[in-house]
A and B are shown apart, each in its own frame.
Chain A
Amino acid sequence: MKYVDEFRDGKLARGLAGAIAREADGARRYSFMEFCGGHTHAISRYGLIDLLPANVRMVHGPGCPVCVLPIGRVDMAIELALEHGVTLCTYGDTLRVPASKGLSLMKAKARGGDIRMVYSSADAVRIAQENPDKPVVFLAIGFETTTPPTAVAIKQAKALGLKNFSVLCCHVLTPAAISNILESPEVRQWGTVPLDGFIGPAHVSTVIGSRPYEFFAEEYRKPVVIAGFEPLDVMQAILMLVRQVNAGTAYVENEFSRAVSRDGNLKAQDLVAELFELRREFEWRGLNVVPYSALKIRKEYAEFDAECRFPLAYRSVADNKACECGAILRGVKRPQDCTLFGTVCTPENPIGSCMVSSEGACAAHYTYGRFRDAAA
Chain B
Amino acid sequence: MAGVRPDYVRPLDLKHGRVDMTHGSGGRAMAQLIEELFARHFDNEFLRQGNDGATLPMPTGGRMVMSCDGHVVSPLFFAGGDIGCLCVHGTINDVAVMGAKPLWLAASFIMEEGFPLADLARIVESMARAAKEAGVPVVTGDTKVVEQGKADGVFITTTGVGVVPEGVTLSGDRARPGDVILLSGTLGDHGMAIMAQRENLGFSAPIVSDTAALHGLIAAMLETGADIRVLRDPTRGGLATTLNEIARQSRAGMMLEEEAIPVNPEVAAACEFLGLDPLYVANEGKLVAIVAEADAERVLAAMRAHPLGRKAARIGAVTADDHHFVQMTTGFGGRRIVDWLTGEQLPRIC
Contact = CB atoms under 8 A, between A and B. Distances in A.
20 contacts: A4-B268, A14-B332, A45-B330, A45-B336, A47-B335, A49-B334, A50-B333, A102-B16, A106-B20, A106-B343, A107-B18, A109-B20, A346-B8, A347-B28, A347-B343, A349-B9, A367-B337, A369-B336, A373-B3, A374-B4
Contact of B10 (A109, A111, A349, A371): A349
Contacts of A369: 336-337
Contacts of B22: 106, 348
Contacts of A366: 339
B265 interface: yes
Interface SS of chain A = helix
B308 to A, nearest CB: 24
A348 B342 contact: yes
B125 interface: no
Contacts of A162: none
Interface of A: 1, 4, 8, 10, 13-14, 44-51, 95-96, 102, 106-107, 109-111, 119, 231, 336, 342-344, 346-349, 363, 366-371, 373-374, 376
From B4, B8, B265, B336, residue with most partner A Cβ within 10 Å = B336
A348 B339 CA distance: 12
Contact of B336 (A96, A110, A344, A368): A368
Interface of B: 1, 3-5, 8-10, 16, 18-22, 27-29, 32, 199, 259, 265-266, 268-269, 272, 274, 323, 325, 327, 329-337, 339, 342-343
Given A370-B4, A376-B1, A47 B334 contact: yes
Given A8-B331, A51-B333, A369-B336, A344 B10 contact: yes
Contacts of B272: 1, 4
A48 B330 CA distance: 9
Contacts of A10: 259, 330-333
Contact of A46 (B3, B334, B343): B334
- Kindly list the 8 A-B residue pairs having the minimum CB-CB distance in the complex, ordered from nearest: A47-B334, A347-B342, A110-B18, A50-B334, A374-B4, A368-B336, A110-B20, A1-B265
A288 to B, nearest CB: 28
Given A46-B331, A106-B22, A348-B342, A371 B337 contact: yes
Interface SS of chain B = loop
Contacts of B325: 370-371, 374
From A1, A367, A370, residue with most partner B Cβ within 10 Å = A1
Contacts of B343: 95-96, 106, 347-348
A364 B342 CA distance: 12
Given A4-B269, A4-B272, A106-B22, A346 B9 contact: yes
A373 B335 CA distance: 13
A35 B309 CA distance: 44
A373 B4 contact: yes
A47 B327 CA distance: 11
Contact of A348 (B4, B28, B323, B334): B28
A376 B323 CA distance: 14
Contacts of B329: 47
B323 A374 contact: yes
Nearest to B274: A119
Nearest to A119: B199
A353 to B, nearest CB: 14
Contacts of A347: 28, 339, 342-343
